[in-house]
Every structure is written in C-alpha cells, then in structure tokens.
Structure 1
C-alpha cells in the first residue's frame, strides 16, 4: 500500500514506519523535520490546509516520475503528527494545533478519495493521565466504552479529533480508525526505566499501569491497514501485560478500591483492555518488558 504518514519523525512514528516498510508498504513521511529513515519525505506545516492537500496530491520521489502515469494515489493516510502532551507550550496552542492539523489531514484525504484514515488518539481521553490529582477510572479493565471527559487541553484535542473523524466518516463512508495509544515504550527503555517502575508502581498510575511497545504499535497500524469495512472505530492500543510487577489483585487493592471490576482478570493482565483490537483487527502484541527483565 502507498501510505501518507504524518509525524513519522517522532518517537512512535519512526517505529511504525519501520514496521510498515518491513511489511512491504511504500511510506511517505510528512513532518517538519527529517526522520533519518530510508523513506520518501515531505517537510510541510500541517496547520496549513493548502500545504496538506498539496502534499497529498503531488509526486514524492524521482521513481514516481519514471512511469509516466501521473501522480499515484494513496491507499491510506496514517496521522500521528501532534503536539505530544501538555506542558510543552501553552494549553491553547496544544489544542489548536492538534485539532487543526487533524481536520486538515482528514479533509484532504476525503477530498482526494483516499479510502482509509488511521489517526492517533490517546489513553488520555479517559481523563486519568493528565488529571489534577489522582483520578480513578470508572471501571477496570478500561475499554472503549469508558467515558471520555478529560480536563486537559491535550486530551480534549484528542476527544475533539475523534468527533471530527466520526463526522467525516458519516458523511463519506470511508474507513476511519482511531487508535487510543497508551504510553509508547521503545525497546531500550525497558532496561532504562522499568526497574524504577517495579520498585515504585505509583509511577504507572497515570498510565493505568499499561504500555505499548513501539514495535507492537507498528503492528497495530498494519492490522488496521489490512482490515477494511469497519467504518468509524476507536481502539485501545496496549500490550497484554501490565507495566509493573504487582498482580492484578494487588493493583486493585492498592489503587482501585471501590472501582467496579468487570469480570475476572489474569494475574498480569493489562488494565487497559486491548480486547476490541484483538477481536476486530487481529492485533497480537508480541513484546513485553519481561523479555528483557525476566
């Protein structure tokens, strides 16, 4: 597939592009800074709607000129570009850029006839991650039916983007899938960061004790590329196990007293349910911090 990928120069984007290229997809990275990856790249400002639709409708490398058949179309758009969290710039600018760029990307995709859009939403939509103080989920494991009423500008932008995506899908009928991505972990971060998580599980409370290996995130994107006909859907994206050494019963007793537990949980089972992704698109995460730390 020919994939227009925004934000591929970022932490999650680089790993996703590597995985997609390994599966044989032709990926064009669209960002403001070069990625260093061996893929075609266009450096643009996604806040500018004209630049977005222009980038999505032009040649991207010399090989495309050799066929003499005009500008090739895209099979899918993957939109990862964003201000990645609060407290980088102002709250208002975070919200403005994240919502404006998402609108511009999806609008360009539907106007140019791209049949599929996959966009990065966030774990923060569930109002736990960037809460002022300790906020517990309404129930665990947290799945896609959990309310999304956050208090911070980053998570607000992601909820708004989901509404934008749903509206474009309703009008056009194309497939638009939102990925509520949990805390992205690169392979080297297991040895660097997880010993501290095991010593002090409090550090993982805001992430609902979950994580997603960057390589498995790339696999999830590929699963979505290969799954057609779902219309609009959102998916939690996490690994199967928790990011702490406690058992699920110990986590519930220590952190989730009084929270509804919806069914029995395995001793290491994630509190950020990925069941929907497993059932609907065939997501099968293959990595764990336990592979490194035992």
Structure 2
C-alpha cells in the first residue's frame, strides 16, 4: 500500500511507520518534524490547515513516483490508506483548549481529505483515556472488568475528550462515505528500552498502574496491530482496544481485582496475568496477536511464569 501516515515522528509513530515500511509498504510521514528514516518519506504538513492536508494527500507520494506515467490520474488520492497518529499526545503538554482544538481539527481535516479523495481505509489512534480512567481527577475505577469496547466513554480531560470527538467524527465520515475507518484505543505505549527503566517500579508497587488499568502496549505489537487493521477490510467503523496480552505488574490478575477493584463487576473469569484491558475484539476481528511481554526482558520478582 501507499500509506499517508500522520505523526510518524512521535513516540509511537517513529516505530510504527518504519515497521510498515519494512513490510513492503510505501510510507509518507506527514509531520511538522521529520522522522529521518531512510525507508520513510518525510513531508512537512500542518494538519490543522485543511488546504495543506488536502494538497499533501493528493500529491505525489515519493520522488520515485515521478517516473510513474499515471500517478493519481483518476483525480483522487495518490494513497491507498491513511494512518492518523498525529496529536498533542497528552494533557499538560499544551493548554487544555489548545489540546482539544488542535487534535479535533487535525482529525477532521485528515478524515475529510481522505474520504473526499477516495481513500477507502483509515486507521486512527484513539486512546485508553476515552474510558475516563487515565487522566481523571482522583481515582476512577472502571464500571466493570475486563474493560472492553462497550464500556462507556466518560472523559474528564481535554485530551480524552478530543479522542472521543475523533471517534464521533470518524463514525460520521464512515456513514457519509462507507469507507472503512478503524480506531485503535491504544493503551500506555512502551518502547523496548523502557522495560528496564520503568517496570522495576511497577513490579515493586502495582498501584502505579491503576490509571492504565494495569495494562500496556509494546510499540512493536502496536505496529502489528496497525498492520492487521490495514489488512482487514469490510468492517465499516469500529474501535479496538490495543494492549499486550498480560498485565504490567507482577501480581496475578485476580490479585489486582481483589486489591484494587473491590465492588467492581467482573464480567467473565480471568486467569494468570491476563490483561484487564480486553483485546478480545482485536483478536477476533483483526487477527491481532501480540508477541511481546516485559517478562521476556525482566525477571518476575515473584518467580511466576
């Protein structure tokens, strides 16, 4: 595929965009900051400017395509798919109003350009924060566990609000055009080097992971989830929780429930270190199978398998 990838220079994007390129896809990184990866074409684009987004998406993907006698001759997009990861990535990075306005406008511009130009597949980064737990003021417990995509989205913060708004925008563009638009509700993104840096504290004090429902997503598995979303057609508009299969702490999942979720409904049995951020839907509909775990890198202090 020729993929228009926004935010390829961010924490997740600078792993995922090169991964897609390594799988044989032609990837253009639309970002204000260049990625500088030899397998990815950088294109400086302000996504809050609708004209720039439309022009960039309608343009020639790479210099190599100048030799193509008929690129984009149909008058549509030069791209087969759009992956939209760009955003102000959290609260406290910019003023709340700027976070909301920037993220929602950029999302709208990308979806409008893609669908008007005839792109039939858009995969976008939504967030675990949509469930209202991560950036809540004070502790918020889920209404039930495992948390699946049917759990209400009840955000209190500007970032999560922008992600919920992005999902609404995406559903609307699917309704208008029939394009496949898939949202990935991405859990806490972990790069490989962060296991040694961050996880010893999590293993010593599981309470540090309450905001993330004790879950995480290895950025390499996020790349695989994104690829599976690009390869899966015909689902219309859908959202998917994306996490690793296990928890980010040493205690068992049942111990998490007993210690931190007293009174919270448990909707199905859990075992071992199974994640409480359910990835069943992504497994079933996308064929997503995560491969990585912090347990491959660090010794479990409890000696558990």
TM-score normalised by the shorter chain: which range applies? Answer: over 0.9
Contact 2:125–2:184 (CA under 8 A) maintained in structure 1? yes
The CA deviation at 1:62 is: 1.9
Q: Name the SS of the counterpart of 1:87 in structure 2.
A: coil
d(CA) in 2 for partners of 1:33 and 1:209? 32
> Of the candidates 82, 85, 96, which is equivalent to residue 87 of structure 2?
82
The CA deviation at 1:59 is: 1.6
For 1:253, the equivalent position in structure 2 comes to 258
d(CA) in 2 for partners of 1:267 and 1:259? 19
For 1:50, the equivalent position in structure 2 comes to 51
Q: Name the SS of the counterpart of 1:11 in structure 2.
A: coil
**1:216 paired to 2:221:** yes
For 1:113, the equivalent position in structure 2 comes to 118
d(CA) in 2 for partners of 1:213 and 1:81? 18
For 1:59, the equivalent position in structure 2 comes to 60
- What TM-score results when the alignment is normalised by the length of structure 2? 0.95
Q: Name the SS of the counterpart of 1:56 in structure 2.
A: helix
Structure 1 residues 76-98: Cα deviation after superposition (integer angstroms, max 9, x where no partner): 00000000000111101000000
Contact 1:41–1:60 (CA under 8 A) maintained in structure 2? no
The CA deviation at 1:270 is: 0.3
d(CA) in 1 for partners of 2:189 and 2:290? 13
Moved over 3 A (4+): none
For 1:91, the equivalent position in structure 2 comes to 96
- What TM-score results when the alignment is normalised by the length of structure 1? 0.99
Q: Name the SS of the counterpart of 1:293 in structure 2.
A: coil
For 1:163, the equivalent position in structure 2 comes to 168
d(CA) in 2 for partners of 1:58 and 1:145? 38
The CA deviation at 1:254 is: 1.1
Structure 1 residues 55-88: Cα deviation after superposition (integer angstroms, max 9, x where no partner): 0011233211112223472110000000000011
For 2:71, the equivalent position in structure 1 comes to 70
Contact 2:71–2:78 (CA under 8 A) maintained in structure 1? no
Q: Name the SS of the counterpart of 2:240 in structure 1.
A: strand
Greater shift, 86-95 or 57-66, is seen at 57-66
d(CA) in 1 for partners of 2:178 and 2:213? 33
d(CA) in 1 for partners of 2:187 and 2:232? 21
Greater shift, 246-255 or 57-66, is seen at 57-66
For 1:269, the equivalent position in structure 2 comes to 274
d(CA) in 2 for partners of 1:187 and 1:273? 22
For 2:157, the equivalent position in structure 1 comes to 152
For 1:26, the equivalent position in structure 2 comes to 26
Structural RMSD (CA): 0.8
Contact 2:85–2:124 (CA under 8 A) maintained in structure 1? yes
The CA deviation at 1:11 is: 0.7
> Of the candidates 157, 176, 180, which is equivalent to residue 185 of structure 2?
180
Q: Which runs of 5 or more structure 2 residues have no equivalent in the other structure?
A: 300-305
d(CA) in 2 for partners of 1:216 and 1:138? 27
- What does 1:111-150 align with in structure 2 at a 5 Å threshold? 111-150=116-155
d(CA) in 2 for partners of 1:29 and 1:187? 22
Equivalent pairs counted in the alignment come to 294
Structure 1 residues 143-162: Cα deviation after superposition (integer angstroms, max 9, x where no partner): 00000011111000000100
